[in-house]
């Protein structure tokens, strides 16, 4: 059996849609702008970060919006990361995404395999999936158009991104805002960034989290990540797709099944309360294993593609 077939068989078992594989290594894919009334936490600081209609992108509510809400370790506060999106199909939670413009969601192409526009419901402003009567209620929109990257590779996770153009754009408000996108590729080595999603809290659990998670992860450079993944069942000949970046490798800290499509985002150097999205949760081997990072689509590499597709949509 050739190297490509071996890797392909393993990665095909790494289920992009959030199911465990049927082989012994248990490799799984990790399913796998802002309100003009800026929060007091922003301090009025201005940066060169991208802006969209409605104000500045990437504004967090660092202390949350509901002081009375019970928040446990590893959970996000209410409204803390207001760009987080939950995707549903047939009334079932499908995965995550991020609001990059009032009417545009960025997510993973793997989540949409076999899906049509009519199958997807996009939910913004969510925090607790089990509570329909939250203080800051969520809002929903149907999808007008799905734009998948033309070179997405299901087996390797390369070029794994898609845009959802919404039938009804969301109104930007305190708990619904957009995330900034990086203007260019830059070194992220040594940074600790975050993932917020409703995936499982650990690989052994069987259900996704109802409360939005807040996971902090170290970024891992390409060569280190590839070397660590070669020490797994992927084998010494494994080649990591160049469109991926890596984060994690710490025990019990990781994105996990059900987090696919969610944003990996880092604080801006100019303003620690504002964030830009550097990655999209892609695939990994189980969750939270020491020295086994997870992989993420490199958003900066696809900024031109994202801009082009949004511009094309505006012109139609």
Q: Is pLDDT larger for residue 129 or for residue 315? A: 129
- Is the pLDDT score of 39 beyond 60? no
Dist CA 254 CA 276 (whole Å): 19
Residues forming beta bridges with residue 163, ordered by sequence position: 106, 147
Burial (CB < 10 A; 0-12, 13-18, 19+), residue 143, is buried
Q: What average pLDDT does the segment 13-24 reach?
A: 36
Span 171-195, pLDDT tens digits: 999 999 999 999 888 888 789 999 9
CA-closest candidate to residue 108, choices 85, 125, 124 = 85
Six-digit token string for 277: 């999205």
What pLDDT was estimated at residue 261? 98
Span 76-85, pLDDT tens digits: 999 999 999 9
Q: What are phi and psi of 168, to 5 degrees?
A: -130, 110
What fold is seen in the domain 15-37+49-65+73-316? Thrombin, subunit H (2.40.10)
- Is the pLDDT score of 263 beyond 60? yes
Task: DSSP letter for 9, please.
Answer: H
Six-digit token string for 2: 């050739």
The pTM of this model reads 0.85
Q: What are phi and psi of 288, to 5 degrees?
A: 70, 35
Residues forming beta bridges with residue 277, ordered by sequence position: 265
What pLDDT was estimated at residue 55? 61
Strand 55-56 and strand 120-124: pairing?
A: unpaired
Q: Cα dihedral angle (113, 117, 123, 128), rounded to 10 degrees?
A: -40
Torsion over CA: 199, 202, 207, 213 (sign) = negative
3-state helix, strand, coil in the chain (%, to 5): 15, 30, 55
Dist CA 130 CA 115 (whole Å): 25
Six-digit token string for 144: 């007008």
Quick one: which H or E segment has residue 311?
Answer: helix 303-315
CA-closest candidate to residue 128, choices 57, 64, 204, 206 = 64
Q: Are 92 and 184 in contact (CB under 8 A)?
A: no
Q: Are 313 and 175 in contact (CB under 8 A)?
A: no
- Is the pLDDT score of 152 beyond 70? yes
- Is the pLDDT score of 19 beyond 80? no
Mean pLDDT of the chain: 85
Span 117-139, pLDDT tens digits: 999 999 999 999 999 888 899 99
Q: Are 261 and 269 in contact (CB under 8 A)?
A: no
Dist CA 58 CA 52 (whole Å): 11
* End-to-end Cα, the chain, rounded Å: 48
């Amino acid at each position: 059996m050739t190297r490509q077939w071996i890797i392909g068989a393993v990665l095909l078992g790494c289920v992009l849609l959030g199911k465990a594989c049927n082989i012994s290594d248990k490799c799984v894919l990790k399913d796998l702008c802002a309100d003009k009334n800026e929060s007091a936490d922003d301090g009025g600081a201005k940066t060169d970060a991208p802006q969209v209609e409605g104000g500045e992108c990437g504004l967090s509510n660092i202390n949350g919006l509901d002081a009375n809400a019970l928040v446990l370790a590893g959970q996000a506060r209410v409204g803390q990361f207001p760009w987080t999106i939950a995707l549903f199909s047939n009334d079932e939670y499908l995965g995550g995404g991020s609001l990059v413009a009032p009417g545009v969601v960025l997510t993973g192409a793997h989540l949409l395999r076999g899906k049509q526009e009519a199958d997807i419901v996009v939910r913004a402003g969510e925090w607790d999936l089990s509570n329909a009567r939250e203080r800051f209620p969520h809002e929903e929109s149907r999808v007008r158009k799905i734009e998948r990257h033309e070179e997405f590779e299901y087996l390797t996770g390369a070029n794994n991104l898609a845009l959802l153009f919404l039938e009804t754009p969301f109104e930007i408000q305190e708990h619904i805002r957009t995330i900034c996108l990086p203007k260019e590729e830059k070194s992220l080595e040594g940074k600790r960034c975050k993932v917020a999603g409703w995936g499982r809290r650990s690989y052994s659990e069987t259900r996704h989290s109802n409360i939005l998670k807040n996971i902090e992860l170290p970024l891992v450079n390409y060569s280190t990540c590839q070397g660590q993944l070669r020490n797994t069942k992927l084998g010494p000949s494994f080649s990591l797709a160049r469109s991926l970046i890596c984060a994690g490798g710490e025990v019990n800290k990781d994105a996990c099944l059900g987090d696919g499509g969610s944003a990996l985002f880092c604080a801006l150097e100019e303003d620690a309360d504002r964030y830009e999205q550097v990655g999209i949760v892609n695939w990994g081997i189980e969750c939270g294993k020491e020295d086994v990072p997870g992989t993420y689509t490199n958003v900066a590499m696809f900024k031109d593609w994202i801009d082009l597709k949004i511009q094309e949509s505006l012109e139609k």
